[in-house]
Amino acid sequence: MSVPAAWPDTYGDDAKPRLGFFTDSSVCIGCKACEVACKEWNAVPMDGLEWTGESYDNTAQLDANTWRHVTFVEQRKPLRLAGEAAALDAEPLRWLMSSDVCKHCTHAACLDVCPTGALFRTEFGTVVVQEDICNGCGYCVPACPFGVLDRRELPELELLGSDPSGVRPPDGRVWKCTLCYDRLKGGHEPACAKACPTDSIQFGEVDELRERAHERVVKLEAQGWNGPRLYGADPGDGVGGFGAFFLLLDEPEVYGLPPDPVVTTKDLPEMWATTAIAAAATIVGTALAFIGGRR
Protein backbone atom coordinates (compact mmCIF):
# COMPACT_ATOMS: atom_id res chain seq x y z
CA MET A 1 0.00 0.00 0.00
CA SER A 2 1.22 3.50 -0.77
CA VAL A 3 2.01 5.20 2.54
CA PRO A 4 0.92 8.79 3.24
CA ALA A 5 3.61 11.34 4.01
CA ALA A 6 4.09 12.07 7.73
CA TRP A 7 2.54 8.73 8.71
CA PRO A 8 3.20 6.39 10.36
CA ASP A 9 6.91 7.12 10.93
CA THR A 10 6.39 10.49 12.58
CA TYR A 11 4.03 8.96 15.15
CA GLY A 12 6.26 6.04 16.10
CA ASP A 13 4.54 3.74 18.58
CA ASP A 14 1.48 6.04 18.60
CA ALA A 15 0.70 5.37 14.92
CA LYS A 16 -2.56 3.52 14.30
CA PRO A 17 -3.74 1.48 11.29
CA ARG A 18 -4.87 3.75 8.46
CA LEU A 19 -8.61 4.29 8.73
CA GLY A 20 -11.05 5.46 6.07
CA PHE A 21 -14.33 5.02 4.24
CA PHE A 22 -15.58 2.71 1.52
CA THR A 23 -18.78 4.18 0.07
CA ASP A 24 -20.83 1.62 -1.86
CA SER A 25 -23.19 3.63 -4.07
CA SER A 26 -25.06 0.49 -5.16
CA VAL A 27 -26.88 0.40 -1.81
CA CYS A 28 -27.23 4.15 -1.21
CA ILE A 29 -30.92 5.12 -0.89
CA GLY A 30 -30.35 8.88 -0.80
CA CYS A 31 -31.82 9.28 2.69
CA LYS A 32 -29.18 11.90 3.65
CA ALA A 33 -28.85 10.50 7.15
CA CYS A 34 -25.09 10.91 6.68
CA GLU A 35 -25.46 14.63 5.93
CA VAL A 36 -27.61 15.18 9.01
CA ALA A 37 -25.41 13.09 11.33
CA CYS A 38 -22.29 14.93 10.12
CA LYS A 39 -23.86 18.33 10.75
CA GLU A 40 -25.19 17.38 14.17
CA TRP A 41 -22.01 15.81 15.51
CA ASN A 42 -19.59 18.41 14.10
CA ALA A 43 -21.84 21.45 14.65
CA VAL A 44 -21.65 22.27 10.93
CA PRO A 45 -23.81 25.34 10.09
CA MET A 46 -27.13 25.04 8.29
CA ASP A 47 -26.79 24.93 4.51
CA GLY A 48 -28.54 23.69 1.39
CA LEU A 49 -31.95 25.29 1.81
CA GLU A 50 -32.09 26.58 -1.78
CA TRP A 51 -33.77 24.57 -4.55
CA THR A 52 -31.04 23.49 -6.98
CA GLY A 53 -33.26 21.81 -9.56
CA GLU A 54 -30.93 18.80 -9.53
CA SER A 55 -33.38 16.07 -8.50
CA TYR A 56 -33.42 15.83 -4.69
CA ASP A 57 -29.95 17.34 -4.32
CA ASN A 58 -30.28 20.46 -2.19
CA THR A 59 -26.66 20.86 -1.09
CA ALA A 60 -25.13 20.71 -4.60
CA GLN A 61 -21.49 20.22 -3.56
CA LEU A 62 -19.01 19.77 -0.76
CA ASP A 63 -18.01 23.00 0.94
CA ALA A 64 -17.19 24.50 4.34
CA ASN A 65 -20.77 23.94 5.51
CA THR A 66 -21.43 20.58 3.80
CA TRP A 67 -18.90 17.88 4.68
CA ARG A 68 -21.06 15.05 3.32
CA HIS A 69 -22.96 15.57 0.06
CA VAL A 70 -25.40 13.07 -1.42
CA THR A 71 -25.39 13.19 -5.23
CA PHE A 72 -28.58 12.33 -7.15
CA VAL A 73 -28.34 11.41 -10.86
CA GLU A 74 -31.38 10.30 -12.86
CA GLN A 75 -30.49 8.18 -15.90
CA ARG A 76 -32.25 6.46 -18.80
CA LYS A 77 -30.16 3.34 -18.31
CA PRO A 78 -31.01 -0.13 -16.99
CA LEU A 79 -29.87 -1.01 -13.50
CA ARG A 80 -28.85 -4.47 -14.72
CA LEU A 81 -27.70 -5.84 -18.07
CA ALA A 82 -28.63 -9.46 -17.61
CA GLY A 83 -31.11 -11.69 -15.86
CA GLU A 84 -34.84 -11.48 -15.16
CA ALA A 85 -34.64 -7.97 -13.71
CA ALA A 86 -33.08 -6.66 -16.94
CA ALA A 87 -35.72 -8.38 -19.08
CA LEU A 88 -38.52 -6.67 -17.16
CA ASP A 89 -36.85 -3.27 -17.48
CA ALA A 90 -38.69 -2.18 -20.66
CA GLU A 91 -38.24 1.56 -20.00
CA PRO A 92 -34.98 1.78 -18.10
CA LEU A 93 -34.68 4.50 -15.47
CA ARG A 94 -32.30 4.45 -12.56
CA TRP A 95 -31.20 6.81 -9.82
CA LEU A 96 -27.51 6.92 -9.04
CA MET A 97 -26.99 8.13 -5.50
CA SER A 98 -23.69 8.41 -3.68
CA SER A 99 -22.50 10.21 -0.56
CA ASP A 100 -19.41 12.25 -1.40
CA VAL A 101 -16.82 13.31 1.18
CA CYS A 102 -13.20 14.46 1.53
CA LYS A 103 -10.95 11.78 0.03
CA HIS A 104 -8.21 11.96 2.73
CA CYS A 105 -5.67 11.46 -0.06
CA THR A 106 -2.49 9.44 0.37
CA HIS A 107 -0.57 12.31 -1.24
CA ALA A 108 -2.53 15.38 -0.16
CA ALA A 109 -1.71 18.65 -1.93
CA CYS A 110 -3.51 20.62 0.78
CA LEU A 111 -0.87 19.49 3.27
CA ASP A 112 1.92 20.56 0.92
CA VAL A 113 0.74 24.15 0.56
CA CYS A 114 -0.52 24.94 4.09
CA PRO A 115 1.88 27.59 5.52
CA THR A 116 0.73 27.39 9.15
CA GLY A 117 0.53 23.67 9.82
CA ALA A 118 -3.22 23.93 10.30
CA LEU A 119 -3.60 20.90 8.04
CA PHE A 120 -1.94 17.79 9.42
CA ARG A 121 -1.86 14.02 9.02
CA THR A 122 -3.29 12.26 12.07
CA GLU A 123 -2.07 9.06 13.69
CA PHE A 124 -4.87 7.29 11.76
CA GLY A 125 -3.51 8.48 8.37
CA THR A 126 -6.39 10.94 7.88
CA VAL A 127 -6.13 14.65 6.98
CA VAL A 128 -7.55 17.21 9.41
CA VAL A 129 -7.80 21.02 9.60
CA GLN A 130 -7.11 22.58 13.00
CA GLU A 131 -9.52 25.52 13.13
CA ASP A 132 -7.57 27.26 15.90
CA ILE A 133 -4.46 27.42 13.68
CA CYS A 134 -6.00 28.06 10.23
CA ASN A 135 -5.48 31.70 9.20
CA GLY A 136 -7.84 31.58 6.23
CA CYS A 137 -5.12 32.11 3.59
CA GLY A 138 -6.99 29.74 1.27
CA TYR A 139 -3.90 28.23 -0.40
CA CYS A 140 -5.32 24.74 0.12
CA VAL A 141 -8.59 25.52 -1.67
CA PRO A 142 -7.24 25.51 -5.27
CA ALA A 143 -4.67 22.84 -4.35
CA CYS A 144 -7.37 20.19 -3.78
CA PRO A 145 -8.09 18.32 -7.06
CA PHE A 146 -11.61 17.51 -5.82
CA GLY A 147 -12.78 20.96 -4.74
CA VAL A 148 -13.38 19.70 -1.20
CA LEU A 149 -11.79 22.47 0.83
CA ASP A 150 -13.64 25.75 1.18
CA ARG A 151 -13.54 28.91 3.28
CA ARG A 152 -16.52 29.56 5.52
CA GLU A 153 -18.15 32.86 4.61
CA LEU A 154 -20.70 32.76 7.43
CA PRO A 155 -20.03 34.99 10.46
CA GLU A 156 -17.95 33.38 13.18
CA LEU A 157 -20.31 32.43 15.98
CA GLU A 158 -17.84 33.44 18.69
CA LEU A 159 -17.90 37.03 17.44
CA LEU A 160 -21.59 37.44 18.17
CA GLY A 161 -22.13 40.73 19.96
CA SER A 162 -18.48 41.79 19.76
CA ASP A 163 -19.11 44.42 17.10
CA PRO A 164 -21.25 47.38 18.27
CA SER A 165 -22.42 47.96 14.71
CA GLY A 166 -23.94 44.51 14.59
CA VAL A 167 -21.92 43.63 11.46
CA ARG A 168 -19.92 40.49 12.03
CA PRO A 169 -17.00 39.56 9.75
CA PRO A 170 -17.06 36.16 8.05
CA ASP A 171 -15.28 33.25 9.68
CA GLY A 172 -12.87 32.99 6.72
CA ARG A 173 -11.21 29.76 7.85
CA VAL A 174 -11.15 26.50 5.86
CA TRP A 175 -13.35 23.62 6.99
CA LYS A 176 -13.83 20.04 5.76
CA CYS A 177 -14.48 16.46 6.90
CA THR A 178 -12.18 15.35 9.72
CA LEU A 179 -13.36 11.72 9.50
CA CYS A 180 -14.67 12.52 12.99
CA TYR A 181 -11.16 12.65 14.48
CA ASP A 182 -12.57 13.20 17.95
CA ARG A 183 -14.68 10.05 17.65
CA LEU A 184 -11.74 8.01 16.32
CA LYS A 185 -9.65 8.96 19.34
CA GLY A 186 -12.47 7.67 21.53
CA GLY A 187 -12.63 4.37 19.65
CA HIS A 188 -15.90 5.17 17.84
CA GLU A 189 -16.79 5.13 14.15
CA PRO A 190 -17.55 8.43 12.34
CA ALA A 191 -21.06 9.81 12.71
CA CYS A 192 -21.99 9.40 9.02
CA ALA A 193 -21.08 5.70 8.93
CA LYS A 194 -22.87 5.13 12.23
CA ALA A 195 -26.06 6.72 10.87
CA CYS A 196 -26.09 5.05 7.42
CA PRO A 197 -29.03 2.59 7.45
CA THR A 198 -27.86 0.48 4.47
CA ASP A 199 -24.11 0.30 5.20
CA SER A 200 -23.46 2.25 2.03
CA ILE A 201 -20.82 4.11 4.07
CA GLN A 202 -18.46 1.51 5.53
CA PHE A 203 -15.71 2.48 7.97
CA GLY A 204 -12.57 0.57 8.88
CA GLU A 205 -8.93 -0.08 8.02
CA VAL A 206 -8.22 1.03 4.46
CA ASP A 207 -6.48 -2.20 3.39
CA GLU A 208 -9.40 -4.31 4.58
CA LEU A 209 -11.93 -1.98 2.96
CA ARG A 210 -10.12 -2.26 -0.38
CA GLU A 211 -10.33 -6.04 -0.27
CA ARG A 212 -14.02 -5.83 0.59
CA ALA A 213 -14.62 -3.36 -2.25
CA HIS A 214 -12.96 -5.59 -4.87
CA GLU A 215 -15.06 -8.53 -3.72
CA ARG A 216 -18.19 -6.39 -3.98
CA VAL A 217 -17.41 -5.41 -7.59
CA VAL A 218 -16.92 -9.06 -8.55
CA LYS A 219 -20.27 -9.92 -6.98
CA LEU A 220 -22.14 -7.11 -8.76
CA GLU A 221 -20.58 -8.03 -12.11
CA ALA A 222 -21.65 -11.65 -11.62
CA GLN A 223 -25.20 -10.43 -10.94
CA GLY A 224 -25.24 -8.42 -14.17
CA TRP A 225 -25.24 -4.94 -12.66
CA ASN A 226 -24.65 -2.11 -15.11
CA GLY A 227 -21.24 -0.43 -14.74
CA PRO A 228 -19.83 -1.24 -11.26
CA ARG A 229 -16.32 0.12 -10.78
CA LEU A 230 -14.05 1.36 -8.00
CA TYR A 231 -12.92 4.96 -7.77
CA GLY A 232 -9.93 5.88 -5.63
CA ALA A 233 -9.07 2.34 -4.48
CA ASP A 234 -5.88 2.11 -6.58
CA PRO A 235 -2.69 3.06 -4.65
CA GLY A 236 -1.04 3.67 -8.02
CA ASP A 237 -3.33 6.52 -9.09
CA GLY A 238 -2.48 10.22 -9.24
CA VAL A 239 -2.94 10.81 -5.52
CA GLY A 240 -1.68 7.45 -4.27
CA GLY A 241 -5.18 6.18 -3.60
CA PHE A 242 -7.91 7.65 -1.43
CA GLY A 243 -8.47 7.14 2.25
CA ALA A 244 -12.16 7.47 1.38
CA PHE A 245 -12.95 5.67 -1.88
CA PHE A 246 -16.10 4.65 -3.75
CA LEU A 247 -17.91 1.97 -5.70
CA LEU A 248 -19.70 3.73 -8.56
CA LEU A 249 -22.16 2.50 -11.19
CA ASP A 250 -20.99 4.82 -13.96
CA GLU A 251 -18.06 7.04 -14.93
CA PRO A 252 -16.82 9.38 -12.15
CA GLU A 253 -17.79 12.43 -14.21
CA VAL A 254 -21.46 11.39 -13.95
CA TYR A 255 -21.18 11.90 -10.19
CA GLY A 256 -19.31 15.20 -10.57
CA LEU A 257 -15.93 13.64 -9.78
CA PRO A 258 -12.69 14.17 -11.75
CA PRO A 259 -11.92 11.09 -13.89
CA ASP A 260 -8.17 10.96 -13.28
CA PRO A 261 -7.21 13.16 -10.30
CA VAL A 262 -3.55 14.06 -9.85
CA VAL A 263 -1.97 15.67 -6.80
CA THR A 264 -1.60 19.30 -7.84
CA THR A 265 1.77 19.73 -6.13
CA LYS A 266 3.52 16.85 -7.93
CA ASP A 267 5.72 19.28 -9.89
CA LEU A 268 6.67 21.43 -6.88
CA PRO A 269 10.14 19.86 -6.33
CA GLU A 270 11.05 20.45 -9.98
CA MET A 271 9.70 23.98 -9.85
CA TRP A 272 11.69 24.84 -6.71
CA ALA A 273 14.83 23.30 -8.21
CA THR A 274 14.39 25.33 -11.42
CA THR A 275 13.75 28.47 -9.37
CA ALA A 276 16.89 27.86 -7.30
CA ILE A 277 19.01 27.37 -10.44
CA ALA A 278 17.58 30.53 -12.02
CA ALA A 279 18.20 32.50 -8.82
CA ALA A 280 21.78 31.23 -8.61
CA ALA A 281 22.38 32.11 -12.26
CA THR A 282 21.00 35.60 -11.68
CA ILE A 283 23.28 36.14 -8.67
CA VAL A 284 26.34 34.89 -10.54
CA GLY A 285 25.47 37.00 -13.60
CA THR A 286 25.00 40.12 -11.48
CA ALA A 287 28.27 39.51 -9.67
CA LEU A 288 30.17 39.04 -12.93
CA ALA A 289 28.62 42.16 -14.39
CA PHE A 290 29.57 44.15 -11.29
CA ILE A 291 33.17 42.86 -11.39
CA GLY A 292 33.38 43.55 -15.11
CA GLY A 293 32.03 47.05 -14.63
CA ARG A 294 34.67 47.88 -12.04
CA ARG A 295 37.43 46.95 -14.46
Helices of type H across 146-205? 181-185, 191-195
- Separation CA 52–CA 212 (nearest Å): 35
What pLDDT tens digit does each residue of the chain (295 aa) get?
678 878 888 899 999 999 999 999 999 999 999 999 999 999 999 887 778 888 888 888 999 999 999 999 999 998 888 766 666 666 788 999 999 999 999 999 999 999 999 999 999 999 999 999 999 999 999 999 999 999 998 876 554 555 555 567 889 999 999 999 999 999 999 999 999 999 999 999 999 999 999 999 999 999 999 999 999 999 999 999 999 999 999 999 999 999 999 999 976 555 444 555 656 667 766 766 777 665 5
Question: What is the reported pLDDT for 128?
Answer: 97
Contact criterion met (CB below 8 Å) for 121 and 6: yes
Question: What is the reported pLDDT for 147?
Answer: 95
Kindly list the distances between the CA atom of residue 175 and the CA atoms of 66, 69, 102, 136, 172, in Å, as whole numbers in the listed order: 9, 14, 11, 10, 9
CA 112-115-116 angle, to 5 degrees, is 120
**pTM: predicted TM-score of the whole model, two decimal places:** 0.85
Terminal Cα distance for the chain, rounded: 62
- Separation CA 10–CA 12 (nearest Å): 6
Question: What is the reported pLDDT for 272?
Answer: 44
